[in-house]
Structure 1
């Protein structure tokens, strides 16, 4: 987070009003957070997140060049290909789950997508010290937070979006995923 904040400060040539949220208790050494991130910190949130006010979406980056961005992106892809770099397995699983979150995601379908058996997928996830349900729950939590924060969805709408039968079940699931109630996460 501090690297992204520093990069944005360099690119915009001014300090941006970032807010930071962490999914853990406030640490005893809070001074380090203040030094590197500033004072707009919130702890005990559902996910780790940093955000800017929405008007920054439409604010052009000083000195930005679409041509240079395209060339840089192409060069980065070429470098990754030449170095045989791949994204991590967990990131691939997370992206698949996020893209298919509105479908009835099953372990078997996910394994099939990655061209492996369900048992192999389970073993690979276990090597990463996780399991399929944990990854699915994390994807649902990230989707719910995104829908709350970015799109202003209500609890009922998110419940429908995630294909959870009713809002009571969604509220229970959200509490299990994040450790917080829906109301606490919205505040």
Structure 2
């Protein structure tokens, strides 16, 4: 009877898979663990990673108003949302530059891809909080000069493979009534008590 694969080895293989994007065949050769075993435990370890650091994941999403003629309030909302979007672009850029698994299509079941994405996002957020100076050193993120409005591009753009495919439009991309109501409520906040002097 074969000995069980130690948890430490499973974690090393999974982290290597996420960080390098190496195939299971390559990992099999590097770690001397069978491909079937790797394909079985990678989703399990991704689940464990996610469960361990999931408090670093946020669960909200917002879309801009998309009409041609927008009210002043809707323009303010869209501008503020655009500024927030740059943060997301930084986050995904860093994520994709650190976890090379995102550089090419994943040859996995959709459920496994979900687990991989959750694990990478949770690890990314955890590293940003616990080891920010090493994970995202100075100059790696986009930064805006508040006086001029000029944006200096982060160095992650040089690290990332620029061939990440655009997903384009998926389905109709219509938001739900609940999402529109939430967007309108935040729009009112941005133009009321949440207004800032420079947004005028």
TM (normalized to structure 2)?
0.27
Q: Identify which of structures 1 and 2 has the higher relative contact order when contacts are C-alpha pairs closer than 8 Å and 6+ apart.
A: 2
TM (normalized to structure 1)?
0.28
* Rg larger in structure: 2
